Amino acid sequence: MDDLRITYRGSRGEVPAVRGISMSLEPGDTLGLAGESGCGKSTVAGAILRLLPRETQVTGRIVLDGDDVLTMSFGKLRAVRWAGASIVFQGAMHSLNPVHRIARQIAEPIVLHEGLSSDAAEKRAVELMAQVGLPAWRASSYPHQLSGGQRQRVMIAMALACSPQLIIADEATTALDVMIQAQVLALIKRLVAERNIALVMISHDLSVLADTCDRLAVMYAGKLVEDGPSHEVFAAARHPYAQALSAAFPTVGDPAERRNPHGLAGDPPDPSNLPTGCSFHPRCPVVRDDCASTSVELRRARDDWRAACLRVEEVA
């Protein structure tokens, strides 16, 4: 993705939700995307499959396997959804069709995109169910007969159904209890590694991302402010905002810490009324005089690590 900019347009005027994001993923790469509520994470996810409201202005490039998603025909886009990239949303488990059996729902995209007969697709669906830890006899269950964790497994099986090159998991495990969440995360991690699928995992919880992904990117007010190796970013972020976020979750994998974050003073800014210069400056604990007047882009903190702070060397 190259210089992705997204502005929502509605009755309340323009909301510049994403303000110039560039990043790339190779097959098998796993990227965690973090940031407070409203920073633009789901907007980025929605843009990758062109799922945003029609009147939204999207500029830049999103290239999937050589083709630009933003300019491709609807026919091509239909093929890309599921087969090229698929999304598992937060609470997506509630979007299962209550009147269709599980196997039939998983089989649906396979029939549509790979032209298999319903019987052959349902057979494949049962194989996929086994991969996500659902026994074959569950094939004839209806969604209401499954637990939340099991329904989220069904969503993951659907996301895998057409062997996509990219899976985007947007708060896919947030609604689950801690034990089930750990199981589902381990499952996603194993499946993307086995199949060499690229993964973008979105969460406000850095510790989940550091556990699951090799790379960690942090967004603030519609921009990337940090992007580097996940365990190192988690342990010693270079951007003061990313530092505050990781300080809020000091121990990777400790659920008690996750429920009691230290928090960060102040609120995230309103995207339609952003502070000048570095948009984090009103909340930054190490702000200096020029931060309010100097716009700051990502700078190289190390070969594999970038941060958008004027003080990146000192902060390190």
Ligand X SMILES: Nc1ncnc2c1ncn2[C@@H]1O[C@H](COP(=O)(O)OP(=O)(O)OP(=O)(O)O)[C@@H](O)[C@H]1O
Which stretches of the chain bind ligand SF4, using CB under 6 A?
239-240, 278, 280-281, 284, 286-288, 291, 296, 309-311
- Contacting residue, 4, 18, 30, 42, with Mg ion by CB under 5 A: 42
Binding window for Mg ion (CB under 5 A); candidates: 35-43, 72-80, 173-181, 293-301: 35-43
Nearer to ligand X, 17 or 197 (CB): 17
- Contacting residue, 4, 32, 41, 279, with ligand X by CB under 6 A: 41
How many other C-beta atoms lie within 10 A of the C-beta of residue 133?
Answer: 14
Nearer to ligand SF4, 136 or 286 (CB): 286
134 contact choice in ligand SF4, Mg ion, ligand X, none (CB below 5 to 8 Å, kind-dependent) = none
Nearer to ligand SF4, 213 or 218 (CB): 218
- Contacting residue, 1, 4, 15, 221, with ligand X by CB under 6 A: 15
DSSP collapsed to 3 states, the chain:
CEEEEEEEEECCEEEEEEEEECCCCCCCCEEEEECCCCCCHHHHHHHHCCCCCCCCEEEEECEECCEECCCCCHHHHHHHHHHCEEEECCCHHHHCCCCCCHHHHHHHHHHHHHCCCHHHHHHHHHHHHHHCCCCHHHHHCCHHHCCHHHHHHHHHHHHHCCCCCEEEEECCCCCCCHHHHHHHHHHHHHHHHHHCCEEEEECCCHHHHHHHCCEEEEEECCEEEEEEEHHHHHHHCCCHHHHHHHHHCCCCCCHHHHHCCCCCCCCCCCCCCCCCCCCCHHHCCCCCHHHHCCCCCCEEEECCEEECCCCHHHHC
CB 264, min distance to ligand X, A: 14
Is 152 a residue that touches ligand X (CB under 6 A)? no
62 contact choice in Mg ion, ligand SF4, ligand X, none (CB below 5 to 8 Å, kind-dependent) = none
CB 291, min distance to ligand SF4, A: 3
Nearer to ligand X, 46 or 228 (CB): 46
Handedness of CA 111, 115, 117, 119 (dihedral sign): negative
- Contacting residue, 17, 62, 168, 301, with ligand X by CB under 6 A: 17
> Which residue minimizes CB distance to Mg ion?
42
Among positions 225-284, residues that touch ligand X (CB under 6 A) are 271
Binding window for ligand X (CB under 6 A); candidates: 21-29, 32-40, 189-197, 281-289: 32-40
**Which residues form the interface with ligand X (CB under 6 A)?**
8, 10, 15, 17, 35, 37-43, 53, 204, 271
